[in-house]
Amino acid sequence: MRVLILGGDGYLGWPTAIHFSAAGDEVWVADNFAKRQWELEEGIQPLRPVPTLHRRVARWRELTNNPIHLRVGDLTNHRFVYKLLEEARPDAIVHYAEQPSAPYSMQSRTTAVNTQVNNVAGTMNLLFGIQAICPDTHLVKLGTMGEYGTPNIDIEEGYLTVEHNGRTDTVLYPKLPGSFYHLSKVHDSNNIYFACRIWGLRATDLNQGVVYGIDTDQTVLDETLATSFHYDHVFGTVLNRFLVQASLDLPLTVYGKGGQTRGFLNIRDTLQCVELAARNPADRGEFRVFNQFTEQFSVRRLAEMVVAAGGRHGLDVKVDQIENPRVEREEHYYNARHSKLADLGLVPHLLTDAVLDDMLDTIVRHNAAVDTSTLMPSIRWAGGQVAAKA
């Protein structure tokens, strides 16, 4: 295939690019490096230094003799989008190129608006570009399980059949997003669904759970190929943060009661899922929705697992329940369906003791670089910095 990875500099975008390249596909990547700029503005950096995308692309070619075509530009610039699609003529587009943080989107009016413009307008430009230039291209869009929120009924894969006043219809599953970031993903889903219905485009919306992990089969080949690993309160995810705190003998910061339950998956399974979706494309006019995760955990359960992992490493890990900076249910029903990717052949890497131990080993080797000032949350959904930075 000819595969275009949008957001190819990111935590997931870069491993996806070299995963497809290793499989023999012709790979194009594009990025505007906005995430690196946001990190600079927030005073945040990943656990390990991440070489530039240009350097990683060059090193990958040195190691494998597989070229990756790199383009620099912004999806909110429709001229860049159209030119990119004219050049690449991709069979599949994997779209990661969005602001990925709920806390960042809730920090201020500026960051909320930037999130909406970057994510929604960028995707709209992409849809118009596909319709005009390569309407048979299959769009694989990374969404989020956070679009659904925490409803008091089972979460289906994208659609819900309802009966009302004696009539039945199937509609997109109702969405209860918890941040302006998650809301931008809801807008994306609606816009893509519309484009599939009206223009006959083909798309798969991957509602992804929380991703954890440090390396993939390709990133371990050379230190230059490393991807970013964030543990901070803005761009870091909960398991990554807990493991970094454990490595430093710091208490694990559980927000509120810790009953918040979500879907999780290993970074290696993100690559599996994206590849399965790309190699088994949607039909023309079809908007597919796959719930992309392998296991469900509460925050409290993750903390217990990290405490146990710390014990196996001789660390006396404690848990500290702190005030929740978010507006969310801390105890709730959560049962999300996720069978469609398994039906396509997904073989999950589950969160075993061995996986946790391996991650903790790696983090311990690099934890001298941790900036502990970025671990505690300072962005509050209901005020605080939101008002101060308007």
Q: What is the pTM of this model?
A: 0.97
R_g (Cα) of the chain, nearest Å: 20
pLDDT, one tens digit per residue, over 133-170 is 999 999 999 999 999 999 999 999 999 999 999 999 99
Q: Is the pLDDT of residue 273 over 60?
A: yes
Q: Is the pLDDT of residue 389 over 60?
A: no
Active site residue 175: no
Active site residue 185: yes
Query: In the chain, where do the E strands start and end?
Result: 2-6, 26-31, 68-72, 92-95, 138-144, 159-164, 167-172, 202-208, 210-212, 252-255, 261-266, 287-292, 295-298, 319-322
The domain limits of the chain are 2-377
Which of 11, 185, 212, 237 is labelled catalytic?
185
At residue 385, the pLDDT reads 52
- The average pLDDT across 373-386 equals 84
Active site residue 82: no
pLDDT, one tens digit per residue, over 10-33 is 999 999 999 999 999 999 999 999
Q: Which CATH number fits domain 2-377: 3.40.190.90, 3.60.20.10, 3.20.20.70, 3.40.50.720?
A: 3.40.50.720
Which of 144, 216, 227, 237 is labelled catalytic?
144
pLDDT, one tens digit per residue, over 47-74 is 999 999 999 999 999 999 999 999 999 9
